[in-house]
Structure 1
Amino acid sequence: MTERPRLEVLDGLRFVAAMSVLAYHYTAIAHVWHRSAAEVFPSQPFAHGWLGVHLFFLISGFVICLSSWGRGIGSFLLSRAVRLYPAYWLSVLVVAAGLTVWPGLPWRPTTLDVLVNLTMFQDAVGAPEIADVYWSLWAELRFYLLFSLLVWWGLTYRRVVAFCALWLGATALATAFLPDGGVVQTVLTTDYAPLFTAGIGCYLMYRFRPTFASWAIVAASFVLALPPVMRRNQLESKAGEIIPNGPVIVLLAVWFLLIVAVALGWLSWVRGRWLVVAGALTYPLYLLHLDLGGALLYLFQWRVPPPLLVPAVTGIMILVAWLVHRYVEQPLAPRLRHALRRSAAHARGPVHRERATSARPQSAHHNAPVRDLVRKQRPHVNGDPGT
């Protein structure tokens, strides 16, 4: 199958997802302002912006399947590490430093907290997260680990369909019979598994063609994604207020339809180098916007009107994200890739060197008796002796 061009529209959708989450954090939560968000923005236009993370997960399912097709397990894990860790390490150190020097905070990270967070597996060992936004990375990591098993086996259409069907089925059973969570729900990532599988189903539509199986994966994923979204919506309620589920269902449906439209080629006209740049800024922007941008909002909220302050801080954080991408991710990613490859080669080097030594041809002098013996014993082929 010929290689397809880069889907620049997905870069743009990544940026939309990041801006959705940013707008929600900057306008709809009291954590940033240290007072009621409704007091700052009474109309609450971005009250459902937290659903931007769900768009992230949909895109992730699509892109991870796309980028890992034809790769081995080592290449897959290497690409994920190189993509995630450089900007993440910086964010851990910057946020930890801010928490350490900011006065009046009830909790300050210890050195052990920082070291554990640098691994990105703090949730797995029950360590506190340095930044609130890291929870979504733990969901991504569990998806990568599950999908890596399929990559190790080898990606084919049937295997990917079976993987999605098994994951969705296990998710439905775990949700029905293990409502209190536990290890099984943690491993299966039950609240977000349908988003990843929907993205994978859309990629199958894109790479091959829409089939009953791929449509069934997307439809079942949407149905299973609804209950967790509605539960989260009710958690957003204040003082027992019942929040209608209609808006979040509609917005989730819009996210699904956008990824389906990408898969069917309906958005192939959305192109531009600026989309690639925007997509590159998404990850550092997501990592740093809440803690750094939130600190700026808190410091200047009494000096600058919030409707002006939020766009200004948003612009600053986009600039910061560009600086992180340009001066941290771009130079560090290839070095990290080289270091990991060298480490992997060194780990298996002795075996390979031994094999190479045993397979190395001897000199002509040492090979001569063997060659002569072979020539004597080998029959002539097509009248050409010693061929």
Structure 2
Amino acid sequence: MTEAVVSAPVAPPVADTSRAPGRAPRAKGAPGRLRALDGLRLVAALMVAAYHYGGRGGAVADAWGSSPARQFPTLHTLFAYGCLGVQIFFVISGFVICMSGWGRSLTSFSASRAARLLPAYWVAVVLVTAVFALPVVAYDAVSPSDALVNLTMLQQPLGADRVLGVCWTLWVEVRFYALFALCVVLPGASRGRVVLFCAGWLLASALAQAAHEPLLDLVLMPEYAPFFVGGIGLYLLHRDRRDAHAWGIVAAGFLVGQHHAVRELWNAADPHAFAHRTALGIVLVVALGFAAVGAVALGLLDRVNWRGLTVAGALTYPFYLVHEHLGWVVIHVLHRGLRVPAAATFALTAAAMLALAWVLHRYVERPLTPWLRTVLTRTR
């Protein structure tokens, strides 16, 4: 697994939980949107940004002019755990995709996902390509051919260079959408079918791991399947907290998921390593991620219903698309060009990327997402 990580691109739709069995009914007129989940998405996004800005070596060292370990002697060790924001996003994605796919046709589900992902993604690819092509920017741009392939989201299986370092998780998400659409949405979502899908996928992914067959790994994604499955189980608990099968799905997702996270992200206490992630630390972050989504699912955070969290959720996807590479450009200008201290540079860069995310959301996603959804669902 590479250590260039990003968030999973999901946006929770409005969910009316007032009729969910096993839960106390909401007060009349209470909003159904899970705003706490929106806030959690932004927290996971900022975790990944912390990793990209101060929790890894490589290209980001060129932006700072030295290793981030020198810029953040203490915090760089904590920032190194920020890459686990991806796993938390996959849990959230399992929850949200199950919620949004329930009761929808395959056409509606597919159009919703495409309309949610593509507009901001296309603009981000063009924007990053253009910025990296500027002579004053010290990073290599991909070839024009590879940049065009990136617009399809198929650059990884086609072996093209990536414009966005974050896009590898989009490829993971797309494969999850395809599996869920074929196995659950197409035949019609029901509790029994969702339970069977979770159990079957988790078992099949474990067998794929043992088989060492690249095609099975590509389709079943053993290292990521437990997180999606755990999120789906949490949505079943959101519908009915007394569902014993759902509790078992969540437990299995966590137990298998933490195993993969430790195996992929643990590194020995090597003095030459950028930072040492301990096995216990990784398990703890994964557990906190499951627990946070679980608190939303069980209604423990229903009172966290601030309108600003909806805005936070809306900014998450465009923020992830642009924060890594464009953030390095901003860091280079602020820290090396203008001599802004490291802590202030870190904060100003994150703020700048959030501002850019708002622009993308306001002027790209808001007009184009509903238009593209309508185009894709229009019948001839």
Question: TM-score interval w.r.t. the shorter chain?
Answer: 0.7 to 0.9
- Whole-Å Cα distance in 2 between the matches of residues 68 and 118 of structure 1? 25
Q: Write the mapping of 1:259-298 to structure 2, written as runs, cut at 5 A.
A: 259-298=293-332
* Conservation of the 8 A alpha-carbon contact between 1:24 and 1:47: yes
Match of 1:11 in 2: 38
Instruction: Confirm or deny that 1:27 pairs with 2:54.
Output: yes
Match of 1:215 in 2: 247
Shift of 1:231: 2.4
Q: Which structure is richer in relative contact order (CA contacts within 8 A, separation 6 or more)? A: 2
- Whole-Å Cα distance in 1 between the matches of residues 16 and 174 of structure 2? 30
- Whole-Å Cα distance in 2 between the matches of residues 36 and 151 of structure 1? 47
Bigger drift between 206-215 and 9-18 goes to 206-215
Identity of aligned residues (%): 44
- Whole-Å Cα distance in 2 between the matches of residues 222 and 32 of structure 1? 31
Unaligned runs of 5+ in 2: 1-14, 19-31
The one-character-per-residue Cα deviations of 1:125-154 (angstroms, maximum 9, x if unpaired) are 222211111011111001000000110011
* Conservation of the 8 A alpha-carbon contact between 2:131 and 2:137: no
- Whole-Å Cα distance in 1 between the matches of residues 127 and 145 of structure 2? 16
Distance 1:337 1:42, change over 3 A: same
Bigger drift between 235-244 and 324-333 goes to 235-244
Counterpart of 1:29, as a letter, is R
Counterpart of 1:78, as a letter, is A
- Whole-Å Cα distance in 1 between the matches of residues 264 and 166 of structure 2? 16
Which of 219, 222, 236 aligns to 1:187? It is 219
- Whole-Å Cα distance in 1 between the matches of residues 176 and 155 of structure 2? 16
Larger Rg: 1
SS of equivalent to 1:129: coil
Shift of 1:120: 1.0
| Higher relative helix content | 1
Counterpart of 1:335, as a letter, is W
Bigger drift between 129-138 and 96-105 goes to 96-105
Distance 1:169 1:320, change over 3 A: same
- Whole-Å Cα distance in 2 between the matches of residues 49 and 245 of structure 1? 14
Match of 2:5 in 1: none
Residues matched between the structures, number: 342
TM-score by length of 2: 0.86
Match of 1:36 in 2: 67
Instruction: Confirm or deny that 1:119 pairs with 2:152.
Output: yes
SS of equivalent to 1:47: helix
Which of 312, 315, 320 aligns to 2:351? It is 315
TM-score by length of 1: 0.84
The one-character-per-residue Cα deviations of 1:48-104 (angstroms, maximum 9, x if unpaired) are 011111111111100111111110000000000110001100111011112222458
Instruction: Confirm or deny that 1:244 pairs with 2:278.
Output: yes
Distance 1:106 1:37, change over 3 A: closer
Give the root-mean-square deviation of aligned CA atoms: 1.9
Unaligned runs of 5+ in 1: 350-387
